[in-house]
Amino acid sequence: MAAPRALVFDAYGTLFDVHSVVEAAREITADPQTLSNLWRQKQLEYTWLRSLMGRYEDFWVVTEQALRFALRRLGITAAEAQVETLMSAYLTLAPFPEVPAALRALAGMPLAILSNGSPFMLERAVRTSGLAGAFAHVLSVDEVKVYKPSPRVYELAPRALGVTPGEIVFVSSNAWDVAGAAACGFITCWCNRSNAPAEELQVAPDYEVDRLDAIRERLGL
């Protein structure tokens, strides 16, 4: 394994807590966690389905479509203003508590984001979370018009950073995302926050942590 020369992070679920929308969802349902869970599930499903169908729409559109489906599926009545409030919450997701310190500890090498998020969503999330300036690159699938785990997405990182995939540590809390990066030759680190079992995809992460601030010690950086 080559010595790492850069680290690339997934955004949603890895740096930013997608379920921090729960607070905004309390206005329209007594069970905001169920709404948040289904919203996230359909959001990911729609990215995979759109990639397979060759019918790309950016992540903001996909996120709204997933929200509207989840509301209908759960029988929740929401005014358009309430839908807009929930969508706005996705632009100001809270970072996981350890993220700022973890990024500061890793600042000795180039850091980047590689995300399904659209450019304006990522810009807002990075800025409102106080992480502006932490990343050399914020890369969006919008550049290639297909979603993870397409190899075309992962190719964006070595191209931007000027190193090979085998010199990049790709970090994600999504096991399927880690599998996609591993299949493309990256060094991979799975942030397994929920102690979930590994995916049966015939690829395994090189490293596993339960918090991002464990990465430096775990990788010996």
189 located within any domain? yes
The residues that are catalytic are 10
The answer on 83 and 107 residing in a single domain is: no
Among 66, 91, 116, the domain-final residue is 91
Which of 62, 91, 120 is a domain's end point?
91
* pLDDT of 2: 76
Q: What is the mean pLDDT of the chain?
A: 95
The enclosing domain of 59 has a CATH number of 1.10.150.240
Total domain count for the chain?
A: 2
Domain-ending residue, one of 91, 116, 136: 91
Buried b (16+ CB within 10 A) or exposed e, 113-136: bbbbbbbebbebbbeebebeebbe
To the nearest 5 percent, what fractions of the chain are helix, strand and coil? 50, 15, 40
- pLDDT at 215 (0 to 100): 96
Residues 52 and 157 in one domain: no
| Whether residue 118 is found in the same domain as residue 172 | yes
Q: Is 106 found in the same domain as 214? A: yes
Q: What is the pLDDT of residue 60?
A: 97
- In a domain, residue 116? The reply is yes
CA dist list (Å): 200 to 48, 203, 214:
18, 8, 25
Q: Is the pLDDT of residue 206 over 80?
A: yes
Q: For position 3, what pLDDT does the model report?
A: 86
Residues 119 and 131 placed together within one structural domain of the fold: yes
Are 108 and 201 contained in the same domain?
A: yes
pLDDT tens by residue, 177-193: 999 999 999 999 999 99
Considering the domain architecture, whether residues 33 and 86 belong to the same structural domain is answered as yes
Shared domain for 212 and 145, answered yes or no, is: yes
- The answer to whether residues 86 and 99 belong to one domain is no
Residues 109 and 79 in one domain: no
Classify each residue of 60-79 as buried b or exposed e, where b means 16 or more C-beta atoms within 10 Å of its C-beta: bebbbebbebbbeeeebebe
For 37-68, the pLDDT digits (tens) are 999 999 999 999 999 999 999 999 999 999 99
Any idea what the CATH number is for the domain that residue 118 is in? 3.40.50.1000
Residue 1 lies in a domain: no
Residue 99 has a pLDDT of 97
Strand order in the sheet with 187-191: 137-140, 111-115, 6-9, 168-172, 187-191, 207-209
- For the chain, what percent of residues have pLDDT higher than 70? 100
Domain of 32 in residue numbering reads as 18-91
pLDDT at 22 over 80: yes
Is 81 found in the same domain as 97? no
Residues 84 and 192 in one domain: no
